[in-house]
Structures are given as C-alpha cells and as structure tokens.
Amino acid sequence: MRIDFDPAQFDRQGFYRLLTATVVPRPIAWVSTISGEGVANLAPHSFFNIACVAPPVLQFSAVGRKDTLRNIEETGQFVVNFAPEELAGQINETATDFPHGVSEFDAVGVASEPGLRVKAPRVAASPVAFECELHSTLRFGDSTVVFGRVVHAAVAEEVMTDGHPEIRKMRPLSRLGKDEWGTTGDVREISRIRYADWQGPAAGA
Ligand SMILES: Cc1cc2nc3c(=O)[nH]c(=O)nc-3n(C[C@H](O)[C@H](O)[C@H](O)COP(=O)(O)O)c2cc1C
C-alpha cells in the first residue's frame, strides 16, 4: 500500500515538507557572495547539485529574493564552500535572516580568506571552495535556480589522500527534512558493472 499525494491539493508548506523529507540527504552549499557596496554575505543552500562536469557548473536554488541572489545578480560571482560537520553551528547561524547590509561573516564570526579568481570571499575553515562566475538563472515560481561556472577550485591538503579528497577527512554535513541534519555514516564501495561482465542479478544478495 502507498499513500498518494496530489501536489495540487497541498499548500506550499505542505508539499515543501514532503519534498524536503524525501529528497534526502541533500549536500549543503555554503554560498558566499559580496554586494556591489562590498558587504560580504554567507548562507547555506541545500537545494544544490552538480549541473555539469565539462564545463564544470554547479547549481543551487534561491527560494525568494534574498541577499545571496541579489549579490550574485549585482556582481555575477559567488563561492560554494563545502559544509563540514564541525562547522554545523556556524552554518546554521548564517541562515539567520540578518538585515540587508549585515555581513554573516562578521555577525557569526566566520573567518574569511580572499578568493583567487572572484571578489567574493571564501570561508577560511571550509576544506573546499568552488569559485564561480554566474552562468545563468532559471525561474520557477518563487525560486531561482542559479548556475555557476566553476572558474577555480581550492581544496585543503589535510582532506586529501593520494591526491584525492577523502570523505572521512571532509566529514560533510547534509540537510534532511524538518530541522534534521545528517552526517556521514557507513561508507561502502560498490563497483559499477559493465554489461560485458554482467552475470545476472545475484550480486544484489
Ligand atoms: C541547512 C540549510 C539549508 C538551506 N537551504 C536553502 C536553499 O536551498 N535555498 C534557500 O533559498 N534557502 C535555504 N536556506 C535558508 C537560507 O540559508 C536563509 O534564508 C538565509 O538567511 C538566506 O540568507 P541571505 O539573505 O544572506 O541570502 C537553508 C537554511 C539551512 C539552515
């Protein structure tokens, strides 16, 4: 038995609760920007993913019109900072609706460092920064999907093993439903099976 849900019968908040509880776990883009007047901004966004690898494009959705979107429209630049478990408190605090003109870096006490290819600052303690130039935006209802061309990536040496970012060292946070957050549990390696090697479905056992 399944319970059926018709989106047309839901109000916005009701279907939001269903979507965010079931599209899980979502990675968190901790997005830093700078306004035209030079005020730095920082906010978490979990409607986030890779849009394309070649060229490298990241995407996230801004719900409504908040400072992050305004700044990106003004400057055409942003940084996606990786959200590690140990910074959960600060990440959540930067989601506070501080007034326009207040920098979350200052208000929350997040140390910044300059970007290499963009004017937006990076989060110094985050192990990965993707510096992006705005590619395009796409509107759906009250939301704007922002696509950013990655022009530079900076990864902390401490999270690398043999030249590759290591999940156990990065310890990503994720967003679940309600006010739930996730951390990385069991990590399994499962190799992709080429058709030439396919021996039937027994491997699922
Ligand atoms: C874990 C987490 C994920 C969030 N994801 C999103 C998101 O995907 N899109 C969005 O618009 N707001 C999201 N928010 C809310 C924004 O971070 C919040 O509205 C913030 O104040 C926006 O800041 P700004 O005005 O500086 O852009 C999220 C909040 C949290 C705590």
Q: Does residue 205 fall inside a structural domain? A: no
**The token pair that represents 172 in the structure block:** 């990503």
CATH value at residue 71 = 2.30.110.10
Q: Does residue 165 fall inside a structural domain? A: yes
Q: Counting atoms of ligand 1 from 1, which one is nearest the CA of 98?
A: 21
Task: Count CA atoms within 13 Å of residue 63 on its CB side.
Answer: 10
Q: Does residue 16 fall inside a structural domain? A: no
- Cβ contact 153:126 at 8 Å: no
Q: What is the pLDDT of residue 147?
A: 99
Residues 93-134 have pLDDT tens digits of 999 999 999 999 999 999 999 999 999 999 999 999 999 999
**The token pair that represents 44 in the structure block:** 């978490």
Whether the pLDDT of residue 202 is over 90: the answer is: no
Ligand 1 binding pocket includes 72 (Cβ within 6 Å): no
Ligand 1 binding pocket includes 40 (Cβ within 6 Å): no
Q: How far apart are CA 142 and CA 137, in angstroms?
A: 13
Residues 138-147 have pLDDT tens digits of 999 999 999 9
Residues 148-158 have pLDDT tens digits of 999 999 999 99
Q: Does residue 202 fall inside a structural domain? A: no
Nearest CA to ligand 1 atom 19: 95
Helix residue ranges, H only, the chain: 12-22, 67-75, 88-93, 104-108, 167-170
Q: What is the pLDDT of residue 130?
A: 99
Q: Does residue 176 fall inside a structural domain? A: yes
Q: Does residue 157 fall inside a structural domain? A: yes
Q: Does residue 5 fall inside a structural domain? A: no
Q: How far is CA 7 from the centre of its chain?
A: 26
C-beta neighbour count of 10 within 10 angstroms: 14
Q: Give the number of domains in the chain.
A: 1
Rounded mean pLDDT of the chain? Answer: 97
Q: Does residue 15 fall inside a structural domain? A: no
Ligand 1 binding pocket includes 44 (Cβ within 6 Å): yes
Task: Count CA atoms within 13 Å of residue 32 on its CB side.
Answer: 30
> Given the structure tokens 């399944």, which residue do they identify?
2
**Domain span including residue 177:** 28-185
Ligand 1 binding pocket includes 63 (Cβ within 6 Å): yes
Q: For residue 203, what pLDDT band results from cuts at 50, 70 and 90?
A: low
86 Cβ partners below 8 Å, 6+ apart? Answer: 171
Residues 48-106 have pLDDT tens digits of 999 999 999 999 999 999 999 999 999 999 999 999 999 999 999 999 999 999 999 99
Gap from CA of 195 to ligand 1 centroid (Å): 42
